Structure 1
Amino acid sequence: MEFLIITGMSGAGKSLCVKYFEDIGYFCVDNLPPSLVPKFAEICLQGQNKMDRIALIMDIRGGTMFLDLFPALESLAAYGISYKILFLEAQDNVLVKRFKETRRMHPLSPEGRILDGIREERRILAPVKEKADYVIDTSNLTPRQLKQEIHKLFVEGKPFSGLIINIISFGFKYGIPIDCDLVFDVRFIPNPYYVDSLKSLTGNDKDVSDYVMSFHESRVFLTKLVDLLDFLIPNYVKEGKNQLVIGIGCTGGKHRSVTIANQLFEILKAKNSSVVLEHRDVDKDNRRMRNESS
């Protein structure tokens, strides 16, 4: 029997996780008070139809009862039940935005500022995060991407370094993504925008991709970038970083940056990295043209 404890920051995506884990065959119990874990484990062990995989979602909604989490986990060990902890994380500004969008109050600050509740929750959960087997930062993950990460970890059984890499292609004329850790400028590569047959296409099209990668400097840059990341990623993991955001920028975010981002994504994915790809500005010129013509 395997227990998975799902916990983390309020607003980081635990409710979505319940659906995803049920889809892959986990028996899920949401908001179980930690003090009831020993009794629940006893019931599971005595049941005629034993459940192999159980996910318990426990968080700060339980108030002071949540402080019983570690004694409860010790009881699992006493029953000979192995368990792992999945901790969902997100940046403060992202959590504030999510609470405002859903018009929910933070459970630790029902009458105060949301940010105060987030900071207090982060303080309380720090020991839990430290003991977690998996930490997933959902700040830049869509629900679909979070589902993919869970599937890779708990279905495919792929190794998890604790670091999720987000690759974002963008156009400098629309601004650099504010959450980038590393930014690489690929405007030195010849621009397909000035080739009539390629102008209306994007780096997701083979003709554009082949054109960009036909240049010696593109291939050398990609090789050197991968070499740099091969050095950086293990060191980021060693220091406990759980998310790395890499920005690849060109002028409009449509051709060169998209191509290089796609190439980098495929290379890192082949190395079994947990990697997410986003093309932030690839359609912006088209949307602007549609708006101007309407």
Structure 2
Amino acid sequence: MTDTPIPWTDLSPTPDLGLVVLDMDGTLLRPDGTVPPGFWDLLPVMQDRGIVVVPASGRQHATLRGMFGGHGVRTYLAENGTVVVHDDEVVATSPLSGTTVQQCISAVRGTDRRLGLVVCTPEVAYVENTEQEFLDEAAKYYRSLEQVDDLTAVDDPVVKVAVFCFGSAEDAAPDLFTGEDAPAAEVARTDAVVISGANWIDIMRADANKGAALRDLQETLDVSRADTAVFGDYLNDLEMIGEGDLSFAMANAHPGITAAANYTAPANTEDGVVQVLRRLLGV
């Protein structure tokens, strides 16, 4: 990390680049949730050079696979790193305790705030809220989504609990988890409570995040942090940003990400990832 991020325009092509790790929403994806067309032109260039391209997102593995699997991408850090997929095989998961899951469900059910809850297993996400606005929002991130009558009855290993806030997630987090008198304050003491977007709070195991998953992947692939490019915009990218020397905060990033990154990149509205990758690849 530098005191002040360096503009991406100061970079030269990077011939030893081995790993490109990409957050999705607010980073690679345009505001409408689509992949910039220019990325599809660069992906085969990277693949031909042996560069491993890794979507790293709070999104579900099934969702990421649906977006990128048809283009030869086989490695993913899904569910904020709690599900790691390499060569199309789930190689690691980080399940929460049953106690934590039940505490999250109780806190959301007991509040007056308007919220939706997603209980995430490695392959399926479960919801019990029937509000269409919530279901439409959840469907953006969870392609494999099932509605159940009672979330407490889900008996598969749970890797993440995601709370959708119809208002501000930063405002809701203290009421639910991080405030001294919050109903699920114990969760914040034992697990990670992360603001992962303007309207989302993610609860994961304390040792599970995109950064920890990326470190394991670097070891598996024998790629150094010096040869790793990482792009992110929000607080669930913080640990990941610290694992690559070529770390980029989007121009639209949360101030905490900008402070942690070594370089800045243009905003996702300007296809910033594509612009920077062209510079790194020299094309």
Query: Structures share a fold, TM > 0.5?
Result: no
TM-score, normalising length: structure 1 = 0.26
TM-score, normalising length: structure 2 = 0.27
Instruction: Kindly name which structure, 1 or 2, has the bigger radius of gyration based on alpha carbons.
Output: 1
Say which structure, 1 or 2, has more relative contact order (CA 8 Å, 6+ apart). Answer: 2
Which has a greater percent of helix?
Answer: 1
